[in-house]
Structure 1
């Protein structure tokens, strides 16, 4: 920012004395998904109040610290502000280039999702009997079955035409694998810190991540090739499965890497894409997208719309025929990949926005 490197840290306030609030429970295993050691300790101390009350920037060259208040109503932070009146700056004083890099904290989102698994139930009897308990989905990572971690993505929320940077996590019912909902934490502009939940219609079955993983394993062409790759003295690594809501459907993408015995960096070898009733694996994203959008006949289940409104903007213009749309999607993907390698986040975001619009248009046309 302005030729200087700035570190940005989340500054939390916490307490174990908030009335009628569920304490964090280490026995749930949630601390294994947290990135911050301090928050892992909080799960061991029974805290039941946590707020992302402030942001701190640290100048990497001279160590200058700036504390910016995000939550004016937080009572703990208000006390600190009275003790150190010259330390904190208001949210309106955050420079725009700094604000543009704020993101919904991973650990806070994870803890909120963990608590909401139970407290989404509004009926007292249902809540007491835990009849509608949700859980974090599982996925196959490398060769192990692991709990899915919330992930960041750039996507367009339902009812909107503009992309934004969000944190996302699907939910599945307790001891079941189908997907029932997904939660989104927003990071952009005035929507920073807002949570949204999208629920799927109960009468429709929507595949969860582990079911998609099972369908991948049960696809002979894919399982045979993965087995063959692993027999050449190399290690096959199944990467993170991404669940990407697009319009009224879901797109699942999973990379497959190959790592040599010498311990070199894994190399991307295949890309698996699932959409509707189709599961394909290609050497490139181009092959997978072409196969999926060329053969798709049945759309996936539609998510329920949220009650809150979101800002909209004009969508980008898209080419009309299938071949040019697929090529445009690949061009946007490649532009985003190069921008990511160069650290050009503005160009990366624009490329992701273009890719999202093209995929949405493909979904509508087919």
Structure 2
């Protein structure tokens, strides 16, 4: 069977001493994801499950409409495993935490360490539309969190210092099993510069090779579509991957033409992810020239070039699989491919 699972909220704008925030255009200062709604896609039957039985507003509704809300413990395990932390609440929590993470009264009063959600241009075919640049939206990704033993499905959003573009931290909401609903924040060292999404996009647009190629495509009457910016945490840094699509003037289906890879202060645009990773991490031609030189001995630092090239090939395969799953709307397969990609690059 196929089921739809929707998040239902209880809200108020009259909670004492609480900071108001906008939720879907409405000012609220109290919000709970109190109900999970399950809809049978075949017969349309609807079941309401109490996700937060302690919510007083939900208790009132349950008293008014007895028998309408079932305990979450009655939800089948096959559905429980598909519950996801709501993006709306996560967005509100990150907005509040960007200010209230400061626990020193003096620093809080002066807003010395205030964060903000990075604003990046829209992705896809509407990226060139004029208007205010919206803040970055949370992204789901399968990854192994620092200190954990296995991969898990998380909701992720980065922070930058106020009025700056470098990264200061990133927050995740966990979704799996007993860890569901737990929020974690990982801070980058203040003495290390980690490029943020806006800086990476700026470097992509300012790169002479990339901008020249995009201009040539645009002059030919084709539309250049910048795909989603993929962010992969690697230890204390981030790997960014962004596909570039080309859509002919008379065509309907965009074609993948290039893949941009950025890591620390390096950036490369190649036809495949494999070639991009080779250029970033210095394998490619250098590795081949070493193989052809009989007088040179292999370096004792790091893994052999052959092993690295094999990892790059596997990374390229995982990335291509992720793109196919994204086009087909298969987000489970997409997440698994991204997880494999992250594991290979670690």
2:238 aligned with 1:250: yes
Which residue in the other structure is 1:332 paired with? Answer: 318
Instruction: Indicate the larger mover: 100-109 or 325-334.
Output: 325-334
Which residue in the other structure is 1:229 paired with? Answer: 217
The structure 1 residue matched to 2:81, chosen from 100, 113, 119, is 100
Task: Evaluate the alpha carbon distance shift between residue 173 and residue 347 of structure 1 in structure 2; reply closer, same or farther with a 3 A threshold.
Answer: closer
> TM-score by structure 2 length?
0.84
Task: Evaluate the alpha carbon distance shift between residue 161 and residue 60 of structure 1 in structure 2; reply closer, same or farther with a 3 A threshold.
Answer: same
Larger RCO (alpha carbons 8 Å, 6+ apart): 1
Structure 2, unaligned runs of 5 or more: 285-304
2:109 aligned with 1:128: yes
1:50-199 aligned within 5 A: 50-141=31-122, 142-143=127-128, 145-199=133-187
- Give the Cα–Cα distance (whole angstroms) in 1 for the partners of residues 231 and 331 of structure 2: 22
Which residue in the other structure is 1:18 paired with? Answer: 15
Which residue in the other structure is 1:260 paired with? Answer: 248
Measure how far apart 1:182 and its partner are.
0.9
The structure 2 residue matched to 1:322, chosen from 287, 292, 308, is 308
How many residue pairs were aligned? 319
Deviations 1:190-220 (A, max 9, x none): 1111111111112222111111122222322
Q: Is the 8 A contact 2:7 2:33 kept in 1?
A: yes
- Give the Cα–Cα distance (whole angstroms) in 2 for the partners of residues 253 and 82 of structure 1: 51
2:29 aligned with 1:48: yes
Structure showing greater radius of gyration is 2
- Give the Cα–Cα distance (whole angstroms) in 1 for the partners of residues 250 and 332 of structure 2: 37
Q: Is the 8 A contact 1:139 1:241 kept in 2?
A: no
- Give the Cα–Cα distance (whole angstroms) in 2 for the partners of residues 353 and 272 of structure 1: 19
Structure 1, unaligned runs of 5 or more: 26-38, 297-318, 361-366
Instruction: Indicate the larger mover: 343-352 or 254-263.
Output: 343-352
Which residue in the other structure is 1:9 paired with? Answer: 6
